[in-house]
Amino acid sequence: MGIEVKSFRKFQKGTLLGFGTIFLSGAGLEIRDISLHQKDGEKWVAMPSKKHEAEDGTKKYSPLVRIPDKARWAKFQQEAVKALEEHLSHDQTPAEIPDDDRSF
């Protein structure tokens, strides 16, 4: 399963690190707004989801796409996290350079 990260936008809140768009080359499938999370040193992805209200009034989220086979889901998780980490390690966002350190 080849996973290519098309884009990623950082958004940190709770366990959330941000949202990405990935392309699964073997399936010819693009998944937008997949989220990357981290807690206690572990990272995982969550499929795009739809918010709804439960009977008790609490907010719940239902994934729009799922992989029901546990082994395939685990493999997808591993490869998606690896692809996103690789993408983030090559993030070319320029660091802010203080005015007095610029040389022209």
Q: What is the pTM of this model?
A: 0.80
Domain membership flag for residue 96: no
Phi then psi for residue 63, to 5 deg, are -65, 140
Domain contains 27:
yes
- β strands within the chain, DSSP E: 3-13, 16-24, 29-39, 42-46, 49-53, 59-63
Does residue 56 lie in a domain region? no
Walk along the chain (104 residues) and give the pLDDT tens digit of each residue.
699 999 999 999 999 999 999 999 999 999 999 999 999 999 999 999 999 999 999 999 999 999 999 999 999 999 999 999 999 998 765 444 444 444 43
- Per the domain annotation, does 13 fall within a domain? yes
For residue 25, tell me if it sits in a domain: yes
